[in-house]
Amino acid sequence: MPRPDITRRLSPQIISQDIDSLHGLQTISTYSTTRGDASVNYLQQAYQAMVTQQQIETEKLTLYRAAADAARLAEWEFHNAVLAMKEVVRGQYGSDSDESQAVGLKKKSERKRPNRKKPMTTGN
């Protein structure tokens, strides 16, 4: 039998079936085994460990999402501040100044004028 790929997550359906199996086992009063990894105590410990790790994962995902939101808002705040600074530089020094060019704006005199396209005529 090939080894299972433990690098992928189990589907919620499989985990739900496993939990149902554990609850079903608890109704069997005569269950006994010599296998340590199939004992009732080990199964209970593994179930509790899984629930604890899932809870930790959920908490960390929540913290991650909050940190991502905070970073996104900080990025927008910085971007808006830069845009405001560019407007001030353009207003204070003019749109054709070296200062405007220094902050990343294009000089007005260096802009290309739009060319009019001649209408295409049909040869009839």
88-103 residue pLDDT tens: 999 999 988 999 989 9
Give how far Cα 79 sits from Cα of 12, 85, 87, Å: 41, 10, 13
Determine the pLDDT at residue 123: 62
- CA 72 – CA 32 distance, rounded (Å): 55
103-123 residue pLDDT tens: 998 888 887 777 878 777 776
28-78 residue pLDDT tens: 999 999 899 899 999 999 999 999 999 999 999 999 999 999 999 999 999
